[in-house]
Copies of this chain bind each other. A is one copy, B any other.
């Protein structure tokens, strides 16, 4: 929570690169008070490993310094058979709190929140509130915002410490509090919570149950981690695999192969359609082998433009910059982009064929027709790639899937088959009677 010395900071930074035995040794090398700082600076999974390697009597010292939300994370990261023993280390109040938190899903507001927050009654005076908070402050993660609750624990308003500080001491809390509080429900997804923090510039959000009773607060320092995690998940889905959940070097080999192999095999099955499509055009290739030469160039252009478009839309959706109802606006824009980008590649491709022909007579007497076929196919393929890549995230979201599954490899696979069809159809139109 607070400040750490530089050697402790260096140890934290290097932590994930160390073996478990090395971690234990490094931990021991620090002085007592620095050990606590070091322990607090680690991620929950690392804290769990370290705790379980300590002698039982030491575990208590470090485990009890964690606020209940962090303690719950550690318990969640420990192997199932160790969990009861960790819970026993806590005092009765803390154990009850941690158990309550464990009932929430890890990635909703209830799983993120801290049940210890500063609470005030509306009928207190400002001076009473300040002394009351002074008493509470040792037990709280933050006293900088205090929440005003009625007798039924329903949230009435919020007051910052700073507001109390600058108010008249005899005023009532209900007079200085802000009654407009943004709150979230216990089941609100952490991604939604992170978006609220970012868009509203908040430092804490209260979590309330369905009856409006306040259950805890989520603070902004918990959210920085969430934003990082969610971006990592999106990026990994984007690379065409399941999200790993753990850091790369800490993920088991077979677990990683499974998460990559599943998508890779699925993409491979989809890509098999290209073999089917190609069989269909074997006769054309046999008659004009030169057509085969441009196949990788053309289908990859479709894949690249498609992955650009889907990246843009998936990310814009994740940041709520683009919503479902914007699909038509996006489609029009992407048709225009597709034509412009397709035109650009078509010109480069056509020029390339002219130059090669001038230098080496590579493409025979029909080089202009070949050039036209390649150029026209490029416009078609890039246009299709752009449109498919930008619309796929909308379709996925509409049917309830995560738009981030519209990964670069997924889009490329989808576009490859169509690219072949576009290319050979164009060739049949332009080259019929000459090469074909």
> Which A residues are within 8 Å of any B CB, using their own CB?
1-6, 8-9, 12-13, 16-17, 40-41, 134, 137-138, 143-144, 158, 160-162, 165-166, 178, 180-182, 194, 197-203, 220-221, 223-225, 227-228, 231-232, 234-236, 238-241, 244, 247-249, 253, 256-257, 260-261, 263-265, 267-269, 271-272, 274-275, 278-279, 282, 285-286, 289-290, 292-297, 299-301, 303-305, 307-308, 310-316, 319-323, 326, 329-330, 333, 336-337, 340-341, 344-345, 348-349, 352, 362, 382, 407-409, 412-413, 416, 420
Contacts and interface: CB of A to CB of B under 8 A. Distances in A.
Given A143-B165, A203-B203, 17 more contacts: A1-B203, A2-B178, A3-B158, A4-B182, A41-B199, A41-B200, A144-B161, A235-B235, A247-B319, A248-B312, A260-B308, A261-B341, A271-B300, A272-B297, A275-B296, A278-B294, A408-B408
Given A220-B221, A240-B304, A408-B409, A341 B182 contact: no
A3 B176 CA distance: 13
A274 to B, nearest CB: 4
Contact of A321 (B161, B182, B249, B293): B249
Contacts of A16: 321
Contacts of A221: 197, 201-203, 220
In order of increasing CB-CB distance, the 3 nearest A-B pairs are A239-B311, A231-B231, A5-B180
A319 B228 contact: yes
A344 B261 contact: yes
